Structure 1
Amino acid sequence: MLKALKKMFGKSEVEQLATETAAAVTQPPAAAQAPAPSAPLKTETATPAPAPVRTEKPAEAKPRRERKPKPAASTWKLEDFAVEPQEGKTRFHDFKLSPELMHAIHDLGFPYCTPIQGQVLGYTLRGKDAIGRAQTGTGKTAAFLISIITQLQQTPPPKERYMGEPRALIIAPTRELVVQIAKDAAALTKYTGLNVMTFVGGMDFDKQLKALEARHCDILVATPGRLLDFNQRGEAHLDMVEVLVLDEADRMLDMGFIPQVRQIIRQTPPKSERQTLLFSATFTEDVMNLAKQWTTDPAIVEIEPENVASETVEQHVYAVAGSDKYKLLYNLVTENKWERVMVFANRKDEVRRIEERLVRDGVNAAQLSGDVPQHKRIKTLENFREGRITVLVATDVAGRGIHIDGISHVINFTLPEDPDDYVHRIGRTGRAGTSGVSISFAGEDDSYQLPAIEELLGRKISCEMPPTELLKPVPRKHH
């Protein structure tokens, strides 16, 4: 597969996207400088040409403002972060990372790179574009953040810039993911003097605008819709983006965000003048076509999940007729008084039907699929997180990347067609060292998926017959 992909990307196609605008006012802050890399990163934006007149009037000129220096981390030395070389493992020491960044990595307790970090950084720290296939939980966020931070430290910021001109842009499909990435970015930039900002829908626009006006934006993490709002109002300018990251590209496709992402990318420098990293859990034809349009001769990295199926998840498979699946689901949830359950089905119409039946039968349920609008999806997740919703019914794409502690049970109403999705699903429970339970319903229509799942897991899962009391009819509700 890799050969085919590399062949596909053999020709570096030049796509000239319009970039109307370049730098302007405001003195940049001093950022810690890292040692020079063995091979330079892209530096096209380091010495910008004389600034042309902007085609739109920028937001009011922001006052020149020096960033207050971060507290000096004078007592910490790289020697304090001793990591023995280990066969088959890559250390962060094996890359030329700045002491400030290594200090933050040390604080986070990461001695060795995960497989995707080790592979991706080998390319991106040399300035190459990359596309990576990796699941949630493989460490891909830290991989692209370390690359961004190193680029921003090694390339001096332009002498003049607006407050709303980020040097690195990360686009992610959901508010939850943006918040998580920004949290990781804040931890990794702790000693560098770089500023991280977030633009997400469902949160106070004016508050986000005030943050943007108060200081330079080095790394911006955003959902597509809210970023376009800022961009179209002339508050955010993307002409100085040196590194562009598209996270969970397959989800952005499924959620219908690609037209917005295209609009955003047109505002950034041409792909020959920026570094582009694209991550996706699956490499569909559509994802690869987008990668071809937006990257230049990318390195292709594919990582299989290291621990397929967490040790902390107890797995069961019930052999059950399709006509009995709903009864089994209803009785499992109500008889056991479960409080936070995720139910997965393969299609949007199945998800809708299951949720409607649960609600009709008095269960506090909600649905999550590509059809659910973003603002409603955020509210649903908050209600589920806070315990106001007991059962969340979701498709694979909508359910991926949901990090909610305390999900006690995952139920596969239908077995997934892709074994990787089974691993994603059961990974929603048993998080952060707690134990969890997954129960899969294997009916006449989907039990043939089991062998492929067992092959991926490297073990058999025994099929059980559900206890008779769990197949009793659902009581009729009087309306």
Structure 2
Amino acid sequence: MACAETGSGKTVAFACPIISRILFEGIAVQKRNNYNNYQRRYGFVAEPLCLILTPTRELSQQIHKECIKFSKNSPLNCSCVYGGTPIHNQINSLRKQPTHLLVATPGRLIDLLTRKEVNLRKLKFFVLDEADRMLDMGFIPQIREIIEDFNMPIKNRQTLMFSATFPKEIQRLASDFLTDYIFLSVGKIGSATSLVTQKVRFVEEHEKFETLVDLLTKHTGLTLIFVERKIDADNLDKKLYDEGFHVLSIHGNKTQRQREESLKLFKNTTIDILVATDVAARGLDVPNVTHVINYDLPTDISDYIHRIGRTGRAGQQGLATAFINHGSNAKVLKKLIGTLEDSEQEIPEWLIAMAGNPYDRRSGSRGYNNRRRNNNRNNGGRFSGIDYRKLQGNQRRFYNGQSRNRNNNNNQNRRNSKW
């Protein structure tokens, strides 16, 4: 289980070692066959050595593109499958050549497994990217189905989970997917990168659009605007277009082709403003985004962290602005103060008052969040794991032996299960 700040390079952290390991061990020659029992067509059945599951189509495409880059001029073949496009096109693509690394969304993968176009019997690496979002979005039954019902190996398979945040409720769910795991963290767990300057502005609901136009006029560069509802994304897109801005919107009701086209135009700077729901918040890497605006504050602080993580990536500086008013969720505001404090950002007094005044007068600081931050330093205990890097020599050997004994004595049922 690995947790790191947004934009810190989590994709390369799992993709490069896996690709290197597959190439080092060698790739067996796969013969073309007539395995498919439905269409009786001659071709390959995808038998990946590595499966990477992601929550969104856009993230699948992005990871696939990076894996192709990392494996260029090698015999390793990468494929990508996701919903929103005709399945037969993807089937034909899978049949043309062997698939060693497969990037997929859960629903489309289950469809292909059911059609026997994909077989997981040779799988060695199973990656859940943006794992908290996968679980939080209700993919648990589908992930269990993929692991339990489709011939995925129990032995000699490594499971890896990556994300920028791991809230407590997600930690409990994640424990089902990992046995005797190592927890690695880089930076502060669940916090925003210090490369992003975070600003909060009190803006009444009826003044938000006027304030937004003023911000966009003063601040040039690629700007990503987040709203909560799909209809609001379309409405804001239209209003900004009427004001003369080069803008498009992206959300779940758009067709896959529309979503891809909007992202393409945004990345190549044909448009410089993109209005989005959280479909664009997770994992997407758009180079040179200089400003993220939370037009609507999300209802979950992890969504806020992922949103602002679209800027300040790969060592670059970024700016994030959040609009706040009396309609904002007080619980989120309290956590927002903690996020600002962790990143050493300025915290306005009016925000403290709106959040219910969590000021700790006994310590003389806004220290209600210090306990949470200290928990991140307890050698992984908060996550039921252990930071292996902090163990030395005999400690590592002791931990390995202790882990085996613990599994033998206390986890007999779990050891025999498919998890």
TM range (shorter): 0.5 to 0.7
Q: 2:95 aligns with which of 195, 205, 213?
A: 213
Q: 1:281 aligns with which of 138, 161, 164?
A: 164
Amino acid aligned to 1:143: A
What residue is the counterpart of 1:167 in the other structure? 49
What residue is the counterpart of 1:359 in the other structure? 238
Q: Aligned equivalents of 2:221 and 2:345: distance in 1? A: 30
Q: Cα gap change, 1:219/1:440 in structure 2, threshold over 3 Å: closer, same or farther?
A: same
Worse-matched range after superposition: 453-462 or 373-382: 373-382
Asked if 1:246 corresponds to 2:128, the answer is: yes
Q: Aligned equivalents of 1:258 and 1:185: distance in 2? A: 25
* 1:13-92 map, 5 Å: none
Q: Aligned equivalents of 1:270 and 1:338: distance in 2? A: 51
Q: 2:224 aligns with which of 342, 355, 359?
A: 342
Cα deviation digits, residues 343-389 of structure 1 (max 9, x gap): 235xx34x644653553573676655677776765455345446676
What residue is the counterpart of 1:64 in the other structure? none
Asked if 1:457 corresponds to 2:339, the answer is: no
Asked if 1:301 corresponds to 2:180, the answer is: no
Asked if 1:267 corresponds to 2:150, the answer is: yes
State TM-score, norm by structure 1.
Answer: 0.56
Q: 2:307 aligns with which of 413, 416, 425?
A: 425
Which of 1 and 2 has greater Rg? 1
What residue is the counterpart of 2:11 in the other structure? 141
The offset of 1:242, in angstroms, is: 1.6
The offset of 1:404, in angstroms, is: 2.1
Q: Is the 8 A contact 2:203 2:325 kept in 1?
A: yes
Q: Is the 8 A contact 1:138 1:305 kept in 2?
A: no
What residue is the counterpart of 2:203 in the other structure? 320
The offset of 1:149, in angstroms, is: 3.1
Cα deviation digits, residues 36-87 of structure 1 (max 9, x gap): xxxxxxxxxxxxxxxxxxxxxxxxxxxxxxxxxxxxxxxxxxxxxxxxxxxx
Q: Cα gap change, 1:372/1:280 in structure 2, threshold over 3 Å: closer, same or farther?
A: farther
Worse-matched range after superposition: 176-185 or 242-251: 176-185
Q: Aligned equivalents of 1:150 and 1:175: distance in 2? A: 25
Secondary structure at 2:8 match in 1? coil
Cα deviation digits, residues 139-160 of structure 1 (max 9, x gap): 3222222442354356566787
Q: Is the 8 A contact 2:236 2:275 kept in 1?
A: no
Q: Aligned equivalents of 2:285 and 2:314: distance in 1? A: 10
What residue is the counterpart of 2:281 in the other structure? 399
Secondary structure at 1:294 match in 2? coil
Structure 1 residues not aligned, in runs of 5+: 1-130, 465-479
The offset of 1:173, in angstroms, is: 2.1
Number of equivalent positions: 329
Q: Which has the higher helix share?
A: 2
Structure 2 residues not aligned, in runs of 5+: 33-43, 351-419
Q: Aligned equivalents of 2:262 and 2:153: distance in 1? A: 38
What residue is the counterpart of 2:376 in the other structure? none
Secondary structure at 2:176 match in 1? helix
Q: Cα gap change, 1:182/1:291 in structure 2, threshold over 3 Å: closer, same or farther?
A: same
Q: Aligned equivalents of 1:270 and 1:358: distance in 2? A: 47
| CA root-mean-square deviation | 4.1
Q: Aligned equivalents of 1:170 and 1:235: distance in 2? A: 17
The offset of 1:249, in angstroms, is: 1.9
Q: 1:329 aligns with which of 212, 219, 222?
A: 212
Q: Aligned equivalents of 1:332 and 1:255: distance in 2? A: 32
Q: Cα gap change, 1:215/1:273 in structure 2, threshold over 3 Å: closer, same or farther?
A: same
Q: Is the 8 A contact 2:164 2:306 kept in 1?
A: no
Q: Aligned equivalents of 1:382 and 1:191: distance in 2? A: 26
Q: Aligned equivalents of 1:243 and 1:200: distance in 2? A: 19
Secondary structure at 1:293 match in 2? coil
Amino acid aligned to 1:359: K
Percent identity, aligned pairs only?
Answer: 37
